[in-house]
Amino acid sequence: MRGCLSVLIIAAVFLVGIVWFGGVPLAETVVEASLTSSAFEADELDVTVHADPPLVLALGRADRVEIDARGVRWEDLRAGSMTLRLDGVDLLGRTATTADGQFRDVELAVAGGDPALVGIAIHGPADGALTTIEIDGPTVHRMALAAFEKTFGTRPDSAELVAPNGVRVGIGDRELNGTLRVDVDGALVVASGLGTIRLVEPDPSLPLRLTSVSIVDGGLALTGTLDVSALLR
């Protein structure tokens, strides 16, 4: 009887040791596999799992997962780099409680022109994190000129932002004023007397939903929500 009990104790200690010392590398492999299955790719990827104590990993849970990547591709999104922290992670259920991070040098599809490089900041509940996309003034100017030309076939001489949410376009000695807004389908548009000019088209492959736009520091700040937990599915 004592022999059986000793074997059970030794086996338990052995299993605890495996989880304690080998659980983190295994959990990091699970996270990387989850990223791959969600169509996420990166030229360089570093995943770090934190659990205190490490034994909670045996239950498929982690306190925190940190992801650092370069040359990011997620569905149609292309980004130079990404840093992301997920808290309250269920490794088996592939969910997280909160998310905080940034995508940098993201290629944003622009109507009538080459993609614009923007930054995307993420913070809040992982399944609907508050997301802010920042577009600088010169990029907005280029976007407006290209979109107007695509829509009406004439390239304006000038374009400028007018606080709090306006755009003024100059064609010769005439001016056209419009209002920036997020359309019902999630596109960023300028509503004008001549019609609607679409600046940024929504990407149906991403769980991103734009909700508002504002002029900040001479550029644009687009806000919305992003289901970051989709990265783990």
pLDDT tens by residue, 60-99: 788 999 999 999 999 888 999 999 999 999 988 889 999 9
| pLDDT for residue 203 | 82
Residues forming a β-bridge with 226? 129, 208
| Amino acid identity at 206 | L
Instruction: Label residue 23 by pLDDT band (50, 70, 90).
Output: low
How far apart are alpha carbons 95 and 34 in whole angstroms?
A: 10
Q: Does residue 59 sit within a domain?
A: yes
| pLDDT for residue 113 | 66
How far apart are alpha carbons 210 and 220 in whole angstroms?
A: 13
How far apart are alpha carbons 209 and 214 in whole angstroms?
A: 16
Q: Quick one: what percent of the chain has pLDDT higher than 90?
A: 45
Q: Does residue 205 sit within a domain?
A: no
DSSP H helices in 38-136: none
Question: Is residue 16 scored above 90 in pLDDT?
Answer: no
Q: Does residue 39 sit within a domain?
A: yes
Q: Does residue 18 sit within a domain?
A: yes
How far apart are alpha carbons 137 and 135 in whole angstroms?
A: 7
Instruction: Label residue 26 by pLDDT band (50, 70, 90).
Output: confident
Other Cβ atoms within 10 Å of 211 Cβ, number: 12
Instruction: Label residue 8 by pLDDT band (50, 70, 90).
Output: very low
The burial of 2, by beta-carbon neighbours within 10 Å (0-12 exposed, 13-18 middle, 19 or more buried), is given as exposed
Give the domain extent around 26.
2-103
Helix (H) / strand (E) containing 16: helix 2-37
Contacts of residue 175, Cβ cutoff 8 Å, sequence gap at least 6: 168, 169
Mean per-residue pLDDT, 149-167: 90
Question: Is residue 160 scored above 50 in pLDDT?
Answer: yes
Question: Is residue 7 scored above 70 in pLDDT?
Answer: no
Report if pTM > 0.75: yes
> What DSSP string runs through 114-182?
PPEEEEEEEEEETTSEEEEEEE-HHHHHHHHHHHHHHHHS---SEEEEETTTEEEEEETTEEEEEEEEE
Instruction: Label residue 32 by pLDDT band (50, 70, 90).
Output: confident
Q: Does residue 183 sit within a domain?
A: no
How far apart are alpha carbons 91 and 94 in whole angstroms?
A: 5
Q: What long-range pairs does 65-71 form, CB within 8 A, spacing at least 24?
A: 65/31, 65/89, 65/96, 67/31, 67/35, 67/101, 67/231, 69/42, 69/44, 69/45, 70/42, 70/43, 70/44, 71/42, 71/43, 71/44
Give the count of domains, the chain: 1
Question: Is residue 51 scored above 70 in pLDDT?
Answer: yes
User: Each residue of 173-223: pLDDT tens digit?
Assistant: 889 899 999 999 999 999 988 889 998 888 888 888 999 999 998 899 999
User: Each residue of 106-157: pLDDT tens digit?
Assistant: 988 776 667 888 999 999 999 999 999 999 998 888 888 888 888 888 899 9
Residues in the chain: 233
| pLDDT for residue 75 | 87
Q: Does residue 29 sit within a domain?
A: yes
Q: Does residue 223 sit within a domain?
A: no
| pLDDT for residue 53 | 79
| pLDDT for residue 14 | 31
Q: Does residue 204 sit within a domain?
A: no
Read off the tokens for 18: 């495996």
Question: Is residue 10 scored above 70 in pLDDT?
Answer: no
Could you give the 3-state DSSP secondary structure of residue 79? strand
